[in-house]
Amino acid sequence: MIIDIHGHVSAPQGLYAWKANQLAARGAHGRSPLKFTDEQLENALRGAPGVFGRAHLDQLDKHGTDLQLISPRPFQLMPSEKPSKIVHWWHEECHNVIAENVRLHPDRFKGVAALPLAAGDPVESALPELERCVKKLGFVGCIFNTDPYENSGIEPPALSERYWYPFYEKLCELDIPAMIHSNSSHSMRTNYSTNFILEETIAVVTLCNSDVFKDFPNLKIIVPHGGGAVPYQLGRYQAATWARPKGERFLDRMRKLWYDCVLYNPESVEFLIKIVGADHIMFGTECPGTGSHLNPETGRSCDDVRPSIENIEWLSAGDKKKILEDNAKQVFKLKV
Amino acid sequence: MIIDIHGHVSAPQGLYAWKANQLAARGAHGRSPLKFTDEQLENALRGAPGVFGRAHLDQLDKHGTDLQLISPRPFQLMPSEKPSKIVHWWHEECHNVIAENVRLHPDRFKGVAALPLAAGDPVESALPELERCVKKLGFVGCIFNTDPYENSGIEPPALSERYWYPFYEKLCELDIPAMIHSNSSHSMRTNYSTNFILEETIAVVTLCNSDVFKDFPNLKIIVPHGGGAVPYQLGRYQAATWARPKGERFLDRMRKLWYDCVLYNPESVEFLIKIVGADHIMFGTECPGTGSHLNPETGRSCDDVRPSIENIEWLSAGDKKKILEDNAKQVFKLKV
Amino acid sequence: MIIDIHGHVSAPQGLYAWKANQLAARGAHGRSPLKFTDEQLENALRGAPGVFGRAHLDQLDKHGTDLQLISPRPFQLMPSEKPSKIVHWWHEECHNVIAENVRLHPDRFKGVAALPLAAGDPVESALPELERCVKKLGFVGCIFNTDPYENSGIEPPALSERYWYPFYEKLCELDIPAMIHSNSSHSMRTNYSTNFILEETIAVVTLCNSDVFKDFPNLKIIVPHGGGAVPYQLGRYQAATWARPKGERFLDRMRKLWYDCVLYNPESVEFLIKIVGADHIMFGTECPGTGSHLNPETGRSCDDVRPSIENIEWLSAGDKKKILEDNAKQVFKLKV
Amino acid sequence: MIIDIHGHVSAPQGLYAWKANQLAARGAHGRSPLKFTDEQLENALRGAPGVFGRAHLDQLDKHGTDLQLISPRPFQLMPSEKPSKIVHWWHEECHNVIAENVRLHPDRFKGVAALPLAAGDPVESALPELERCVKKLGFVGCIFNTDPYENSGIEPPALSERYWYPFYEKLCELDIPAMIHSNSSHSMRTNYSTNFILEETIAVVTLCNSDVFKDFPNLKIIVPHGGGAVPYQLGRYQAATWARPKGERFLDRMRKLWYDCVLYNPESVEFLIKIVGADHIMFGTECPGTGSHLNPETGRSCDDVRPSIENIEWLSAGDKKKILEDNAKQVFKLKV
Amino acid sequence: MIIDIHGHVSAPQGLYAWKANQLAARGAHGRSPLKFTDEQLENALRGAPGVFGRAHLDQLDKHGTDLQLISPRPFQLMPSEKPSKIVHWWHEECHNVIAENVRLHPDRFKGVAALPLAAGDPVESALPELERCVKKLGFVGCIFNTDPYENSGIEPPALSERYWYPFYEKLCELDIPAMIHSNSSHSMRTNYSTNFILEETIAVVTLCNSDVFKDFPNLKIIVPHGGGAVPYQLGRYQAATWARPKGERFLDRMRKLWYDCVLYNPESVEFLIKIVGADHIMFGTECPGTGSHLNPETGRSCDDVRPSIENIEWLSAGDKKKILEDNAKQVFKLKV
Amino acid sequence: MIIDIHGHVSAPQGLYAWKANQLAARGAHGRSPLKFTDEQLENALRGAPGVFGRAHLDQLDKHGTDLQLISPRPFQLMPSEKPSKIVHWWHEECHNVIAENVRLHPDRFKGVAALPLAAGDPVESALPELERCVKKLGFVGCIFNTDPYENSGIEPPALSERYWYPFYEKLCELDIPAMIHSNSSHSMRTNYSTNFILEETIAVVTLCNSDVFKDFPNLKIIVPHGGGAVPYQLGRYQAATWARPKGERFLDRMRKLWYDCVLYNPESVEFLIKIVGADHIMFGTECPGTGSHLNPETGRSCDDVRPSIENIEWLSAGDKKKILEDNAKQVFKLKV
């Protein structure tokens, strides 16, 4: 069984038109009701002509993905917009669409929430919706943005700060994993896509140099896109901790985290597995998305990541299965 | 012939989903192409189920409106967003959709541009698109926002300042009128709808106390929504100028501007005409829009404004015709 | 009996010279003592040559006003100045002069306090002086500024926010009405006079869309200058609530507030009464003040508002009396 | 003949009431006309009961001052207020009152202007009024504030910066001296009076460590209040320049400036003369003002500074005359 | 015995190189260990070639100073740098070096701490290190900066505000004196050396006009550099309080503070003693430092201050001994 | 011959103590002279006990490095400090020490400048010193910081903006390469070391998506630390350009840049070469520095990078020589 832990919802255009309306009205219209027909929802998943629907289900079929965990599209989540209530409404509507998609395709999708943490608000403000998603909608995990200000020059609290602890406590209580995933970027130098990588890099370095895992030994944090820059820049961080006893060096601490393999070239996927080890990696594609472009040399979509794993000669079948299936089942406690 | 000078475009949801995408990407995706089929465009005008389409054409039919001038939806125009290029792209796409609607319904619609003036930019930056709309797309006027910062606490230049003069020059050169219309509002106290009224009030007072009409005697400025608060608060402003010679008092200067009658109760429409006089008022409804709610006591839509004019007993047929038709023809130089 | 609920104190120049001194010293001189002779006070009321004294008593006589409620001159109240103590001192000195005026003319004047709320301070900081005015000085009401930052780009809390609740509680406890009245304006686009209208507009819309009157059913709020833009723009707000049951629509909620008729043209006074109804309107003139200019066509001062009421043919004598006398007696609990 | 180079105008209260009004209106009333009768002007000079008039002429008589140079009250000059035009209007009205006082008492007073430099404006904006004062009103010098932001946390350009050069050029062209004198202070720690001393200290240190006197050898700058802290702290600055050749040390450079002796204890006056020397000191009292309090031990007003000079045993009669008369005649080119 | 209460540590260059490293790393390297050999420490005190070591011990010998109280170099203390932890580390390392110097020269030096108060932090955050210095390291007093923002435009709390009270309480509890001493200055107009004088001026004025000494009668505050500008500008402050009863006038309050005589010209030292009196002055030199330049006319170092005291003819031997020895013994409770 | 293109100067502690002094004085001391003896310089290079000297020459010997290009220590360069002149002084002194080191060891070292670009200044302000280094001191290249604000929340101009063009022009004119290297980081989340990686990532993405290499075909830009995150995240960027013709895809553009191999684990060095190719990689170690820690498993210093290259089985001898020697000779035009 192939489990892709990193997918985002394909929704009807009406969802995004509703968002545009909310942003324009800044909440003045109140929370206008939003309801889609099954046909509209299916059209979005099948890639009926429109903006975002890129034949989601077809691509999963073509790649042989059996189950995909889907969360809201991160770059659309707008946590730095005001007032906070439109941030909350928007997350909730995205979750509702995800729940609908899971209802329509219970074997194909599982829901993953996005922490509705508006910039400047206490992390506690986001927890009720997280709880609703898990307890009411049956979601199996969440994503969260380490910088709700969306790269606008205001410094958010580091992941090592007490600010985040109520969230970590809730994750442990609900026993779900959380994947780091930043949203948009206000910077004129750095777009949202590159900012994903930067935030992941900062997050891994911060967590590995902190007491977070001492304070929350059961916390499950996933770093997508192969861990940002960290596996590749490992030497820099490892050098500073070679003097420590084994088990406390940087790489040892990196292995308290999980990584997905959303890396769109085979060399990088192989490199990630070599550095971090199969025990801490899960299959992911973020398909459809940034990687859905076709590689003209292979004729395959870049986010068809599975061959990059399966073709690694030195990787055992058992390790391949861990990455493609077993680790996800364990971390997300999937009953499939 | 009934000419409604104040309408906004009804567009396919895809337009707004595209906007949501641009706002999320902050221009990182580049300017993705946007193209609608005639069927999609017609569906939007006919009110096929969706967010904004409220049976636009049906309502015009029902109200007996022969011709409507349509501009982009003001509260969606987002001029305070960054980078400026997404503001420009968005205005241009809105204009393109309007041009398509005019193509489909050349007897029903005329196009009106929105000045694509991004907050903090010089007014000159917005003029090329204005020129494209008039010269290439055949638009007959424009709307503009007196506060591109969208009520965010940064003070824009007053309409009396030199900042705006290149725009006034271009208006005179193109010989088109410009309607004041603010966009959204970042304020938590004042939503965009109330902010329309506040900006119009500030604008009328500023213009009437300035040299703008001395410097641009042929400038044609239209104030919508009956002129904000000014006609009702006339005494306050008139009192300060009673000592001036006739022709220079506040009300005399107010009559250098034009007003529409987008006021959703008959008493106010009548009051406006009484104060300002039929020579300076044009029929407008902003239909469909804020006023599309049904008045349960009359069973009519609030933005069915025509009876409010036609039912005024003391108003001559000639004056009614001026308001409903002639003034618009003259100001917009309509050839219909 | 004619009761004018909206007057402001005419004080000796020394009061304003003292203010200039405090602003220059920023409190460094301490609170220098301020004492006026009865002659000085009378001169100010009689319009002896000087800056502000515009023959106050003569004008009341000429207009036939029997009793006027007088508060500090709002545009002078400077709540955004620092340190807060000079704001407090200033309000207190203004109140003292008012108390002196009432002592000299007990049948002509009643005192109305101004809430000494310095920008950025909690509303509780202003309540002791309010209490002094009512309990020690015998004042019958108060005015308050909804934006102590004086239109400087910092957003004050909306009237619907908890920030204001201690003030509302105190108003109910003291059983006095409060009139909204903004002060000066730092904006280069909008002077204080226009800002009065804008703040009143925001206030009415905010209160009518809030739970304030559910939480404080006995609260008495007065909106001056005929309610800003709201009666004239009624349709816009009413449209959004036509779907509600009777009693909950916008106009129903507007009638939980009171309005004065400080509008300097007869058409607007009549319009106000038509829209809001005589039960919720009180006579006011703000005389002497902005409206003291002479209308050359009538030869009368613009703030001689009474004829605008008395000349309305369709208004019953009873309703006229309500406006001119009875409503004020009830709302301010006047024993005259 | 006794010449006091440091006096400030005593004006009718109406002047300050007018200022309070301008500050409240922020220029919205336009520049209301201001005119005083000779009786009002004389009352102010004679100390008729009021806020600032402290028997100005009587005190000059009592102290034996023959001629006093009077400028606007510095702490009232408000250069950090907005809009700039009210700063200009205010300076101009102060100058007009001074001109009137000189007209009434041509042997007693000479006028000194205050540079109307509004915070953030280029120094050129202040020069036309300076020129008017000298050429039209016959003023003999000026005062200027080295920090138009009035100690509000924004750093003004140092006196050594090019920003000030057009002013220095104009001073040389008009051949008049300029006295440093700061205005009010927004700081909660430091009031305007202490801020005078701080700004003077900064100014002397800046000028003595700059090229200003190389670039403008004929520039005449006066430092009031005995030079702030500098003469007393001389050692600190001198130490750093002992290694330089004679003529270039700190004290040598200090002697390119002029000082007045507005110091309200005899020891300090004597100390100043000892350090700086009689050739660079002019008599001044700032009377009436901060020093007008009575010293109960001597029964004399503190600003009766003359005895502090005359009683110095070691100071020659010639040096005393320089300080009390000759230096002022030379620096201000007085023809008396 | 000659006791100099105002000296600063002479430390090995490695201390400052370590600081440069911490500032560059912003704490990222952690607190790298810092340890000096006795030889390095002695070299610094003996003026081995390097940046700051200016033959410290030789100069004390030459000046005949028996005991010097040494604190960290104030202008190096960088309390406005971030993160706060590098401010703390730096103060602690400076204190450790001082403790080492005292260990090496127990008869020559006593330690004085610097309050490690990082800008924006509560004053309580600095007290543990103060306590360590007194209780663990045997220090006899402290210095503190009245503006931890280092003259950067942010206003610190005035010394009269409650903010400082926990510090005053701790000083009383430990029974040690505190000397005011600002650090660096971010201003482009005012360098750190002049800023010392400005901050001292503000501090004396603030304390003398406050209730601090009523609330803490046993508080011992020392003002260095002869009290800034205040003794010289005494008249200005005294004038305002002549009306008060004896004992409450400004000068009376000034005598609740202590002053040192770090003034590098004899006239100023004599002036200080004349104004303030020998009972409130302590010998100080800040040697080596700003005053270590040679006066070519005397051939002596400017900071050889002792002759300036001893040469005062009118000063009694007893008073000289108070200044040079007794006052320091009493205030610092020195057992020597 | 082994050429290490990425080394930083080992300087006497006095250099850093001088920096600490300048930072504390903010330029008030002027530019105190700085001169080191050859013994001091050699001690620093030989690792005499001190803060930064880590046996620089010994390590080069041990690693077999024949020639190292040395520039100032980047994290110490403080371009965000004010005033700009201390930034300039500091860069100049660092360059002078480097020139001295090259003089002492002409066969071992070549000088590389650091662009003295103070935050907020135009890039032209930094060019004269760059020219001095190349023309007077014989330096062969430079490093520059893409964010002179040092990660403080202010957005610097992107490398694609016109701001940088005068610098690019100068590089082409001088025909020298420039290596990207950020300095310190004000962020509390991201220390300077991680910020190196982030800035390099942003820089590569920006340059590859810009017209810079079209406008400057001869520009030579080097990205250290293996190119930040980009080679590892290649797929993400390549995916977006697969549709372009060959030669225009992201990887093609990446090959217009040069990379060093300062990566402290062999897998990453190998990965870099595999992705980018030997033609665009130069040997570098940044030794001594972050990587100087010993790997206990190999017993070797982490920055002994050469074996990571030499041990790659699949890499030809010619390619190894390119990386270790030939590319550097060509890019830096080394005559050795």
> Apex CA F125: angle with CA F120 and CA F126, to 5°?
100
Subunits with 3+ Cβ pairs within 8 Å of F are: A, E
E262, D325 Cβ separation under 8 angstroms:
no
Whether F263 sits inside 8 A of A232 (CB atoms) is yes
The secondary structure element, H or E, covering residue D283 is none
Helix axis angle for C38-46 and C84-104, nearest 10°, is 90
The interface residues of chain E toward chain F in range 10-49, judged by CB-CB distance below 8 A, are 13-21, 23-28
Q: Which two tokens stand for residue C191?
A: 């002077």
Alpha-carbon Rg for chain D in angstroms: 19
E298 touches chain D (CB under 8 A): no
The Cα–Cα gap between D125 and A115 comes to 55
* C/D Cβ contact: 3+ pairs below 8 Å: yes
pLDDT tens-digit series, residues E139-185? 999 999 999 999 999 999 999 999 999 999 999 999 999 999 999 99
Residue range A21-39: average pLDDT?
92
The Cα–Cα gap between B292 and E313 comes to 97
Residue F39: phi and psi, rounded to 5, are -65, -45
Whether D23 sits inside 8 A of C78 (CB atoms) is yes
- Best of E75, E196, E198 to substitute, by most chain F Cβ atoms within 10 angstroms, is E75
F122: preceding bond cis by omega (within 30 degrees)? no
C288: preceding bond cis by omega (within 30 degrees)? yes
A47 pLDDT tier (thresholds 50, 70, 90): confident
pLDDT at B48 over 80: no
E271: closest CA of chain D, how far (Å): 8
pLDDT, position D51:
42
The Cα–Cα gap between B83 and B81 comes to 6
C32 pLDDT tier (thresholds 50, 70, 90): confident
pLDDT tens-digit series, residues B251-286? 999 999 999 999 999 999 999 999 999 999 999 999
E303, E264 Cβ separation under 8 angstroms:
yes
C336 pLDDT tier (thresholds 50, 70, 90): confident
* A/D Cβ contact: 3+ pairs below 8 Å: no
Mean of the per-residue pLDDT values of chain C: 96
The Cα–Cα gap between D288 and D44 comes to 12
Amino acid at F28: A
Q: Which two tokens stand for residue A220?
A: 């499950």
Q: What residues of chain B lie within 8 A of the CB of C202, using their CB? A: 189-190, 194, 198
pLDDT tens-digit series, residues C196-216? 999 999 999 999 999 999 999
DSSP assignments along D134-169, one per residue: IIIS---EEEE-S-TT-SSSPPPPPTTSGGGHHHHH
The Cα–Cα gap between E122 and F276 comes to 52
F203, A194 Cβ separation under 8 angstroms:
no
Expressed in angstroms, the distance from the first to the final Cα of chain D is 9
> Apex CA C112: angle with CA C107 and CA C115, to 5°?
170
> Apex CA D258: angle with CA D252 and CA D260, to 5°?
130
Q: Which two tokens stand for residue A212?
A: 């977070």
Q: Which two tokens stand for residue D146?
A: 């080295």
pLDDT tens-digit series, residues F183-231? 999 999 999 999 999 999 999 999 999 999 999 999 999 999 999 999 9
E226, E269 Cβ separation under 8 angstroms:
yes
Helices (H), chain C: 13-25, 38-46, 56-63, 84-104, 127-131, 165-174, 192-208, 212-215, 234-239, 250-254, 266-276, 306-310, 317-321, 327-332
The Cα–Cα gap between A172 and A181 comes to 19
Model ipTM value: 0.97
Q: What residues of chain C lie within 8 A of the CB of B202, using their CB? A: 189-190, 194, 198
- pTM for this predicted structure: 0.96
Subunits with 3+ Cβ pairs within 8 Å of A are: B, F
Q: Cβ neighbours of residue C154 under 8 Å, at least 6 residues apart?
A: B153, C119
Residue range B195-223: average pLDDT?
98
C54 pLDDT tier (thresholds 50, 70, 90): low
3-state secondary structure of A295: strand
Looking at the DSSP bridge assignments, the partners of residue F4 are F68
- Burial status of residue C96 (CB atoms within 10 A of its CB: 0-12, 13-18, 19 or more): middle
pLDDT, position C51:
42
Interface size D-E, in CB pairs within 8 Å, comes to: 157
Query: CA distances (Å), D296 to each of A238, E99, E275, in order?
Result: 78, 52, 18
pLDDT, position B326:
98
Q: Which two tokens stand for residue F332?
A: 């830096």
pLDDT, position A262:
98
Q: Which two tokens stand for residue F199?
A: 């800035």
Instruction: Single out the residue of E328, E334, E335 nearest to residue E5, CA to CA.
Output: E328
C-alpha torsion angle, residues A14, A17, A18, A23 (rounded to 10): 170
pLDDT at A7 over 70: yes
With left for phi above 0 and alpha for psi between -120 and 50, is residue D55 left, alpha or beta?
left
Q: What residues of chain B lie within 8 A of the CB of A191, using their CB? A: 25-28
D331, D220 Cβ separation under 8 angstroms:
yes
Helices (H), chain A: 13-25, 38-46, 56-63, 84-104, 127-131, 165-174, 192-208, 212-215, 234-239, 250-254, 266-276, 306-310, 317-321, 327-331
List the single residue in D197, D202, D275 with the smallest CB-CB distance to E267: D275
E49 pLDDT tier (thresholds 50, 70, 90): low
The Cα–Cα gap between E42 and E57 comes to 9
pLDDT at C53 over 90: no
Q: Which two tokens stand for residue B254?
A: 């107010």
The Cα–Cα gap between E221 and E209 comes to 15
The Cα–Cα gap between E35 and A274 comes to 42
Alpha-carbon Rg for chain A in angstroms: 19
pLDDT tens-digit series, residues F109-119? 999 999 999 99
The secondary structure element, H or E, covering residue B271 is helix B266-276
E197, D235 Cβ separation under 8 angstroms:
no
Cα F52 off chain centre by: 18
pLDDT tens-digit series, residues E9-44? 999 999 999 999 999 999 998 888 899 999 999 999
pLDDT at F53 over 70: no
Query: CA distances (Å), C33 to each of C22, C90, D12, D53, F194, in order?
Result: 12, 12, 19, 15, 63
The interface residues of chain A toward chain B in range 227-256, judged by CB-CB distance below 8 A, are none
B209 touches chain C (CB under 8 A): no
pLDDT, position B49:
59
Residue-level pLDDT, tens digit, chain D, 336 residues: 999 999 999 999 999 999 999 999 999 988 888 999 999 999 999 986 554 446 899 999 999 999 999 999 999 999 999 999 999 999 999 999 999 999 999 999 999 999 999 999 999 999 999 999 999 999 999 999 999 999 999 999 999 999 999 999 999 999 999 999 999 999 999 999 999 999 999 999 999 999 999 999 999 999 999 999 999 999 999 999 999 999 999 999 999 999 999 999 999 999 999 999 999 999 999 999 989 999 998 999 999 999 999 999 999 999 999 999 999 999 999 988
pLDDT at A51 over 50: no
> Apex CA F320: angle with CA F315 and CA F324, to 5°?
155
Query: CA distances (Å), C275 to each of B231, C52, C281, D216, in order?
Result: 15, 35, 11, 71
E265, D235 Cβ separation under 8 angstroms:
yes
Subunits with 3+ Cβ pairs within 8 Å of E are: D, F
3-state secondary structure of A300: strand
pLDDT at B233 over 80: yes
Residue B236: phi and psi, rounded to 5, are -55, -45
D52 touches chain C (CB under 8 A): yes
D324, D3 Cβ separation under 8 angstroms:
yes
Residue C87: Cβ within 10 Å count: 25
pLDDT at A32 over 90: no
What are the DSSP E strand ranges found in chain E? 3-8, 67-71, 109-114, 141-144, 178-180, 221-223, 258-260, 281-282, 294-295, 300-301
D170: closest CA of chain E, how far (Å): 23
Residue range A104-114: average pLDDT?
98
- Burial status of residue D335 (CB atoms within 10 A of its CB: 0-12, 13-18, 19 or more): exposed
E262: closest CA of chain D, how far (Å): 9
B285, B305 Cβ separation under 8 angstroms:
yes
